[in-house]
Amino acid sequence: MKPIPTGEMTLGPFFPREFAQGANDLATEARGEVIEITGRVVQADGKALDNVVLEIWQADSRGRFDDPQFFGWGRAATDANGVYRFRTVKPGAYEGRVPHINFCILYSGLMRQLQTTMFFELAKDPVLDAVPAARRPLLVARREGTAYRFDIRLRGEGETPFFDD
């Protein structure tokens, strides 16, 4: 019998804080446009969530995932105001996909990881197109100066679309 993936369980409330520190700057030696991504994570009743762990995976500025000068993975945690921050470079497009950043969200009370994708504009893309049209704008970050704002609502009105893979 082939092995079945282990059941996911919640990160719990006591994930060591230091495990999520110092890993949110991806732009250390890369070429490309340096950007900041920030946002607030809230739950159904609107409460901002502290210590949510967010991990991202993205291509480099040329749309490549194997760039020795750019490691496209990072991790951040929200602060007491529910705010997270990444510093990175704007990813490039590659065959069939427009620029985007994959997010994985891990938290206490989340029984499984939540997967979502941040986009820079509403454009034709097979992943964005899989989302009902009315909800697609929720995956598009808003430009604020040099930063892109990508808020995440886990549940409720304006809930962020999440993926099942």
The two tokens of residue 85 are: 């921050």
Taking CB under 8 A as the criterion, the residue among 86, 131, 141, 150 binding another protein is 131
Closer residue to another protein in complex, CB, 135/142: 135
Closer residue to another protein in complex, CB, 45/145: 45
Q: Using CA atoms, how far apart are residues 161 and 108, in angstroms rounded to an integer? A: 19
Phi, psi for residue 54 in degrees, rounded to 5: -120, 130
Taking CB under 8 A as the criterion, the residue among 33, 73, 121, 122 binding another protein is 73
Taking CB under 8 A as the criterion, the residue among 84, 86, 107, 150 binding another protein is 107
Q: Does 127 bind another protein (CB under 8 A)?
A: yes
Write the DSSP string, 37-77. Answer: EEEEEE-TT--B-SS-EEEEE---TTS-S--TT---EEEEE
Closer residue to another protein in complex, CB, 36/63: 63
The two tokens of residue 163 are: 């993926």
Q: Does 92 bind another protein (CB under 8 A)?
A: no
Taking a C-beta distance cutoff of 8 angstroms, is the pair 37, 101 a contact?
A: yes
The two tokens of residue 10 are: 């919640």
Q: Does 88 bind another protein (CB under 8 A)?
A: no
Beta strand 152-153 with 114-119: parallel, antiparallel or unpaired?
A: unpaired
Please give the span between the terminal C-alpha atoms of the chain, in angstroms, as a whole number.
Answer: 22
Fill in the per-residue mask, 33 to 52: x = in contact with another protein (CB under 8 A), - = not in contact. ----------xxx-x-x-x-
Closer residue to another protein in complex, CB, 28/144: 28
Interacting residue ranges for another protein, rule: CB under 8 A:
2-19, 23, 43-45, 47, 49, 51, 55, 57-59, 64-66, 71-75, 94, 96-97, 100, 102, 104, 106-115, 117, 126-127, 130-132, 135, 154-156, 159-165
